[in-house]
Chains A and B, each alone.
Chain A
Amino acid sequence: MMGLKSINRIFLSIAAIAVVFAFLIWAQGNLDAYKVRILNLCAINIILTLSLNLTNGFTGLFSLGTAGFMAVGAYVSALLTMSPEVKAMNFFMVPINPALAHLNAPFIVALILAGLISALVGFLIGAPVLKLKGDYLAIATLGFGEIISVIFTNTQTITNGALGLKGIPQYTNLYWSWGTAIVVILGLITLLNSSYGRAFKAIREDEIAAQAMGVNLFYHKVLSFSLSAFIAGIGGALLANLISTIDPTMFRFFLTYQILLMVVLGGMGSITGSCISAFIMTVIMELLRVVESPMNLGFINIPGIPGMRMVVFAVILIVVVLFMRQGIMGEKEITWDMLLRKGAGRHESSGS
C-alpha cells in the first residue's frame, strides 16, 4: 500500500515537472524578452526565498545575510564566465589580478563553484556568529552583508571595485533558472522531511530541548546556514548571468529585505508558501511599475514618482505583519496527498 502510494506521488511529481518544462519550452519560443525575463526572475526569487526560509523558517536562525551570499555567488560566477577580452575591457582603471585574468569555466561549473565558495564563506561566518541568538544573530548577519559589499568595493584587482562588472555572458535562460529552482525545491523537500530536517525543526521549536535530545546544535546550525549560503550563492550567480551587469551596491540590505518579505508572506517554514509568494511578489513588483509612471486621472496629473513601488512594498509588509502573521501558508505545505484527497472529495460530492 505505502509503496504504491509513494510511487504514485513520484509519478505525479515527474508529470508536474514535465508540464512545467513543456510550458518553459513554449515560453522560451513564444513570449517576448520582457516576459521571459520576469519568468527568470521568478525562478531566481524562488531559489533565494527558499534559501532564506531554510535558516529563518525551518531552523529558527534569524539570518539576514542573503544579499552578501548572493554577492559572493554573483562575482564568482561572473569572473568564471567572462572571457579574458571582456575582463580586460572591464578592468581599465586597475588591472585584474593575473591569476583571474584567464580563468574561464562552463556555466554549470561556475554555478556550482559559486555555491561552494558562498557556502565556504557561510561556514566561516556561521561558525563564530551562530553562537548568537535572535536579534543579535540578525544584526551580525546583516553586518556581514554590508561588509561584503564594502570589501567588494575595495578589492579592485578582483572585483573591479565600484565600477562593477559589465558584459557578463547572459547564460541564464528559463531552463537554467527553473531547472535550478526545481533541483533546489526537490532537494529541500527531501532534506526537510529527513531526520536532518526534523533536527532543524527541533532547534527552531526549542533549542534547549533539542540539545537535551542529543541534537548537536553547532553542527546542525552551521549545516543549515552553509546550505542556505550555498543556495543563495547559486541564486546570485544566476542573477549575475541574467542581468549581465553587477556592482557592489546592488547587494545591499534592500535585496535581503525583499527576499525576507517573500519568506514572511509565503509563511516561515513552508516550501510551497515560499514558491507561491516568490512568484506572486515578483510579478506584482513588475506590475507595480505602473505606480511609478506619470498618471493622468482626468482631473489630476500625477508625475512619475520613482521609488513609489517600494512604498507600496513597505505597506504590503506592514499589512502582512499586522493581519496575516502566518503568511499565505503558515507552516503548511501543499502535498500530493492533500490535492488527491481534495479531488476525491469533490468526486464524491458530485456523485451524490
Chain B
Amino acid sequence: MSLLEVKNITIKFGGLTAVSDFSLSLEKGEIVGLIGPNGAGKTTAFNAITGIYRPVSGSVHFNGTDITGMLPDKITKLGIARTFQNIRLFSNLSVLENVLVAHHLRLKSSFAAAMMRLPGYLREENAMRKEALELLESVRLTKFANEKAGSLPYGQQRRLEIARALATHPRILLLDEPAAGMNPKESQELMEFIGEIRDEFDLSIFMIEHHMQVVMGVCERILVLDHGVTIAEGNPAEIQGNQKVIEAYLGVEMDA
C-alpha cells in the first residue's frame, strides 16, 4: 500500500475541467516530480490533495485513510505539508514565529492555560522553541531567527517556507515550484537541500517544478500533465525522450 494514493481525481471549475482522471501513488521515501506547461492543472492537483479544492470524483488516500474533501488543517495534521507557488509566509512575524506557528497543531494546552502561563503550557512552549531553533539550525536560518520573515532575501524565504512545512512533522512534503525565480547556483543548492531533508526527516516528496535541471536532477519519477490530462509517467530519461511530452512543451511540428 502506497503512502499517498490518488485515484482518478477530476476537478472542475464550472464548465472547465482543470484536472481529469489524475492518479498518483507515492511510496515512502520517493521524490516524484509533476511537470507540464502553464495552466496544465499542476497546482490544482496539489490543491485537491491538500484539501483546498474538493475533487468532483475520485479519491485521495493517505496511509490508508480517506482524506478526500477533508479540511486543509486536518490533512496537515495527518502528515501532509506543503509550500506555495507564490511564497506565503507570515511576513510580519519573525522567522522563528513562522516556524512556531507550524508547531501549534500539536499543542495540547488550552487557550486558558496559555493565557495564565500554567507550567504545563510553559513546558510545551519551551519544547516548541527548542525544536524550532534546531530546525532553523538545520536549514541554516538561525542567524535570521528574529528578523521579519518578509525582510529575508528571496532564496531564504523559500527555504523558510520549507522549514515551516517541516515543523508540522509531515510524512509527505508537497513543494510547489520551489526553484521558481532562483538563479542556477541557488537551484543547485536547493536540489541538494531537497535530498538532504528527504533523508534527514524521512520524507516522501511530491514537487511541481518548471526548472528542468532541478526536476531531472532530483526526481526519481516524473508525471507530465497537459490540459489536465496525464500524458506521461516515468523516470527522467524516459520523460526526456517521450514524444508526447516534447509536443506538449514545444508544439507539434507541421509538415509544410
Minimum C-beta distance from B152 to chain A (A): 15
A201 to chain B: closest residue by CB? B93
B111/A196 in contact, CB under 8 A: yes
Interface segment among A78-86, A205-213, A273-281: the answer is A205-213
**Binding-face segment, A95-103, A107-115, A214-222, A284-292:** A214-222
Q: Is B52 located at the chain interface by the 8 A CB criterion?
A: yes
Nearest CB in chain B to that of A330: its residue: B92
Interface residues of B in 105-120 (CB under 8 A from A): 105, 107, 109, 111, 114-117
Q: Which residues of A contact B88 (CB under 8 A)?
A: 206, 208-209, 212
Is B192 part of the binding interface, using a Cβ–Cβ cutoff of 8 Å? no
Q: Is B158 part of the contact surface with A, judged by Cβ < 8 Å?
A: no
Q: Determine whether the beta carbon of B104 is less than 8 Å from that of A199.
A: yes
Please, what's the 1-or-0 string for A157-174, where 1 marks a CB less than 8 Å from any CB in chain B?
000000000000000000
**With A190-B115, A198-B104, A223-B111: A212-B97 Cβ-Cβ less than 8 Å:** no
| A-binding segment of B1-9, B72-80, B136-144, B205-213 | B72-80
Chain B residues within an 8 Å CB radius of A214: 73, 76-77, 102, 104-105, 168
B164 CB–A CB distance under 8 Å: yes
CB of A195 closer than 8 Å to a CB of B: yes
B103 an interface residue at 8 Å Cβ cutoff? yes
Closest-CB distance, A343 to chain B (whole angstroms): 21
For the complex, is B27 an interface residue (Cβ under 8 Å from A)?
no
Interface string of A188-200 (1 = CB under 8 A from B): 0011001110110
Of B71, B111, B167, the residue contacting A211 (CB under 8 A) is B71
Q: Binary interface profile of B, 77-105, with partner A (CB < 8 Å = 1, else 0)?
A: 10001101000111111000100111111
Number of A-B contacts (CB under 8 A): 100
Name the residue on A nearest B71 (C-beta): A211
Size of interface on B: residues with Cβ below 8 Å to A: 38
Q: Is the CB of A217 within 8 A of B73?
A: yes
B101: chain A residues within 8 A (beta carbon): 198-199, 202, 210, 213, 215
Write the chain A residue with the least CB distance to B174. Answer: A212
**In the docked arrangement, what's the CA distance between A191 and B118, Å?**
12
Q: Is B128 an interface residue (CB 8 A)?
A: yes
Cβ–Cβ < 8 Å partners of A215 in chain B: 73, 101, 104-105
Contacts of A191 in B (CB 8 A): 111, 114-115
Asked whether any CB of chain B lies closer than 8 Å to the CB of A187, the reply is yes
Decide yes or no whether A146 CB sits under 8 A from chain B: no
**Nearest neighbor of A188 in chain B, beta-carbon distance:** B115
| Complexed CA–CA distance, A205 and B121 (Å) | 24
Contacts of B76 in A (CB 8 A): 211-214
**Would you list the 9 A-B pairs with minimal beta carbon distance, nearest first?**
A214-B105, A194-B114, A205-B90, A209-B88, A214-B76, A202-B101, A191-B115, A213-B102, A211-B72
Provide a sorted-by-A list of 20 A–B residue pairs whose CB atoms are within 8 angstroms: A187-B115, A190-B115, A194-B115, A195-B114, A195-B128, A198-B93, A198-B100, A199-B101, A199-B104, A205-B89, A205-B91, A208-B52, A208-B72, A208-B88, A209-B89, A211-B76, A212-B72, A212-B82, A213-B167, A214-B73
New A-B contacts (8) at CB < 8 Å, excluding given A190-B116, A194-B125, A214-B104: A195-B104, A195-B124, A198-B93, A202-B90, A202-B104, A209-B90, A213-B104, A215-B104
B interface, CB within 8 angstroms of A: 50, 52, 71-73, 76-77, 81-82, 84, 88-93, 97, 100-105, 107, 109, 111, 114-117, 121, 124-125, 128, 164-165, 167-168
